A and B are shown apart, each in its own frame.
Chain A
């Protein structure tokens, strides 16, 4: 395992999507940890440091924004990059996410897994060429 590989926490309750993103991110060379709801995501964040947080907003129990708020309150100086995942695209929600410090949001339905991986790379390393479109 590459010691300098970036660590990503993926919080997503939909099993299929979470497994797919985790697999693709791991293939791309990242260290990926998964959480299936807000509370376990928050617990994992307390125990370990991550370079990037891929955070679904619609989660059972504590939702993504609540998790983010909790985390920011306890770690105001964290340099962890947060990318919000959602299928909703409601402006109020996204606005609140940005106010809580998220750097980007992705509408899951509009992005293939490759494009998601690309966005993650963009966020961590700067501009990336777009992946080839799926045939």
Chain B
């Protein structure tokens, strides 16, 4: 509420003027004065008035001093004017203004401190982030480049800020470059090769998010670069370890199998029947362990991409026949009829040892999963470019949900009777790898209660196919799918 403005100063000035103007005149009225006296009295009154006015104006000097001090930075200055006139009002107003300004300044300082501390916090976070962070604006110029980005690319911040990202950093997927207009998109997330300063290469995962509100910050996209080399190193170490461990396991196992085999073969008559049985069971288990370890090693080789198959033109019928003969004993023991229907087979492209492994795996599975008295049949058919081998059985069949998982690692169909089946779940995974490396397909058809059919294809060794294969470039092109024949 505004107080009515004082007019006291006006009054004081008026009085001073009246005093100095009228007093001599008033005196002259009552006392006869000669002009010299008049002048004297006039001068005297003026001097008095001036002195009175100067005294009245003292607060002004005080105010000027206070204002100057405040402007000079002493924020605690307060005017202390108690003259009871307009100067006191100015003093009060001055103090109010100073209070407000002080408060505002203090608030600004606090806000600024908070902002700086937040900025430092964010900077610290950005610096300690293991992933590289690069932020670009709408024109793809680099606005932010954290420490990890600097380490990954080899560039310092000053070398890249403000520059278009395509000019300094390159991303490649295999042989093709990925341009900024491609990766500065929401949901971009894929592995790439990062090429930084002086060709520095790193395998990374590149992920991008888009900034919604560009008006505030000028940021348009934020890229995250995740270094994969450590992960790939760890993965490789894991695979190498499994490989080493499996080989170590083979050594004592070889002894176990060796000694048991000799004991059983040579001392059959000297060992009581009961002990003999115990030893035989131990021997069977040891052999199964050998198969398991070999399977683990094969799977490990496949994962390490070191699993090789040779690819040659082979006579298929002898391979089929041998596998069937090798498994005939097992089939006979379960009273299962094992038949092979194949004749006049053309040559195929295959690895004779590996494809025998596949056949053994599929036929042995068929025998294991078929009840005594059942049938296992191996048949072949020919398409223009492929030979299809089918192993069918009259076993219990496979539930529909299981069929899509059959060829995955370690998968075993759980609800089937598995008397005498000591598989590991790796056989089909390895078989699939072999068939696919030989550029064939493998699949299963089955209905619960109605037996199963496992089939795979092998490329026929026709003349033209053979020629194409010998040409390394076309072979690679065929493999990559870019050239069909």
Q: What is the interface of chain A, defined by CB distance below 8 A to chain B? A: 14, 16-17, 20-21, 23-24, 87-88, 91, 108-110, 112-114, 132, 134-135
Interface-side segment among B85-93, B251-259, B355-363, B454-462: B251-259
Across the interface, A109 reaches (CB within 8 A) one of B253, B262, B264, namely B253
- Centre residue among B251, B261, B293 by max chain A CB count within 10 A: B261
Q: Which residues of the other chain, A, contact B82 by a CB distance below 8 angstroms?
A: none
Q: B95 near A: Cβ within 8 Å?
A: no
Across the interface, B290 reaches (CB within 8 A) one of A17, A88, A110, namely A110
Q: B411 near A: Cβ within 8 Å?
A: no
Q: B6 near A: Cβ within 8 Å?
A: no
Q: How far is the CA of A23 from the CA of B254 in the complex (A)?
A: 16
Q: Which residues of the other chain, A, contact B251 by a CB distance below 8 angstroms?
A: 14, 17, 87, 108
Q: How far is the CA of A112 from the CA of B256 in the complex (A)?
A: 10
State which residues 258-293 of B face A: CB under 8 Å: 258-262, 264-265, 268, 280, 283, 290, 293
Across the interface, B261 reaches (CB within 8 A) one of A17, A87, A91, A113, namely A113
Shortest CB–CB separation between residue A86 and chain B, in angstroms?
A: 10
Q: Is the CB of A17 within 8 A of B258?
A: yes
Q: B308 near A: Cβ within 8 Å?
A: yes
Q: How far is the CA of A134 from the CA of B268 in the complex (A)?
A: 11
Q: Is the CB of B258 within 8 A of A20?
A: yes
Residue of chain A at shortest CB distance from B262: A113
Q: Which residues of the other chain, B, contact A110 by a CB distance below 8 angstroms?
A: 290, 294
Residue of chain B at shortest CB distance from A132: B265
Q: B422 near A: Cβ within 8 Å?
A: no
Shortest CB–CB separation between residue A133 and chain B, in angstroms?
A: 9
- Given the known interface contacts A88-B247, A109-B290, A134-B283, the answer about A17 and B265 at a Cβ–Cβ threshold of 8 Å is no
Sample of 7 A–B contacts (CB below 8 Å): A20-B259, A20-B262, A112-B257, A112-B258, A114-B265, A132-B265, A135-B268
Shortest CB–CB separation between residue A28 and chain B, in angstroms?
A: 12
Q: Is the CB of B255 within 8 A of A109?
A: no
The 3 closest A-B pairs by CB, nearest first: A112-B261, A16-B255, A87-B250
Binding site of B, secondary structure by majority: helix, strand, loop or mixed?
helix
Shortest CB–CB separation between residue A96 and chain B, in angstroms?
A: 16
Q: Is the CB of A135 within 8 A of B258?
A: no
Q: Which residues of the other chain, A, contact B264 by a CB distance below 8 angstroms?
A: 134-135
Chain B 294-308, CB within 8 Å of chain A: the 1/0 string?
100000000000001
Q: Is the CB of B261 within 8 A of A134?
A: yes
Shortest CB–CB separation between residue B307 and chain A, in angstroms?
A: 11
Q: Which residues of the other chain, A, contact B294 by a CB distance below 8 angstroms?
A: 109-110
Q: Is the CB of B255 within 8 A of A20?
A: yes
Shortest CB–CB separation between residue B476 and chain A, in angstroms?
A: 21
Q: Which residues of the other chain, B, contact A91 by a CB distance below 8 angstroms?
A: 308
Q: How far is the CA of A24 from the CA of B255 in the complex (A)?
A: 13
Apart from the given pairs A20-B262, A112-B258, A134-B260, 15 other A-B contacts in the complex at a CB distance below 8 Å: A20-B259, A87-B250, A87-B254, A88-B247, A108-B250, A109-B254, A109-B294, A112-B261, A113-B261, A113-B262, A114-B262, A135-B264, A135-B268, A135-B280, A135-B283
Q: Which residues of the other chain, A, contact B250 by a CB distance below 8 angstroms?
A: 87, 108-109
Q: Is the CB of A113 within 8 A of B258?
A: yes
- Given the known interface contacts A20-B259, A113-B262, A114-B262, the answer about A108 and B247 at a Cβ–Cβ threshold of 8 Å is no
Residue of chain A at shortest CB distance from B246: A87
Q: Which residues of the other chain, B, contact A21 by a CB distance below 8 angstroms?
A: 258
Across the interface, A87 reaches (CB within 8 A) one of B247, B260, B265, B280, namely B247
Q: How far is the CA of A135 from the CA of B283 in the complex (A)?
A: 8
Q: Which residues of the other chain, B, contact A108 by a CB distance below 8 angstroms?
A: 250-251, 254
Q: Is the CB of B308 within 8 A of A114?
A: no
Q: How far is the CA of A112 from the CA of B258 in the complex (A)?
A: 5
Q: Which residues of the other chain, A, contact B260 by a CB distance below 8 angstroms?
A: 134
- Centre residue among B250, B254, B283 by max chain A CB count within 10 A: B254
Shortest CB–CB separation between residue B250 and chain A, in angstroms?
A: 4
Q: Which residues of the other chain, A, contact B253 by a CB distance below 8 angstroms?
A: 109
- Given the known interface contacts A88-B247, A109-B294, A114-B265, the answer about A17 and B255 at a Cβ–Cβ threshold of 8 Å is yes
Q: Which residues of the other chain, A, contact B247 by a CB distance below 8 angstroms?
A: 87-88
Shortest CB–CB separation between residue B357 and chain A, in angstroms?
A: 12
Q: Which residues of the other chain, A, contact B308 by a CB distance below 8 angstroms?
A: 91
Q: How far is the CA of A21 from the CA of B265 in the complex (A)?
A: 15
Q: How far is the CA of A132 from the CA of B266 in the complex (A)?
A: 12
Shortest CB–CB separation between residue B290 and chain A, in angstroms?
A: 6
Residue of chain B at shortest CB distance from A87: B250
Q: How far is the CA of A106 from the CA of B14 in the complex (A)?
A: 130
Q: How far is the CA of A109 from the CA of B261 in the complex (A)?
A: 12
Chain B 213-255, CB within 8 Å of chain A: the 1/0 string?
0000000000000000000000000000000000100111111
Residue of chain B at shortest CB distance from A15: B255
Q: Which residues of the other chain, A, contact B257 by a CB distance below 8 angstroms?
A: 109, 112
Q: Is the CB of B280 within 8 A of A14?
A: no
Shortest CB–CB separation between residue A41 and chain B, in angstroms?
A: 19
Q: Which residues of the other chain, A, contact B259 by a CB distance below 8 angstroms?
A: 16, 20
Q: How far is the CA of A23 from the CA of B261 in the complex (A)?
A: 13
Q: Which residues of the other chain, A, contact B283 by a CB distance below 8 angstroms?
A: 134-135
Q: How far is the CA of A113 from the CA of B252 in the complex (A)?
A: 14
Shortest CB–CB separation between residue B153 and chain A, in angstroms?
A: 37
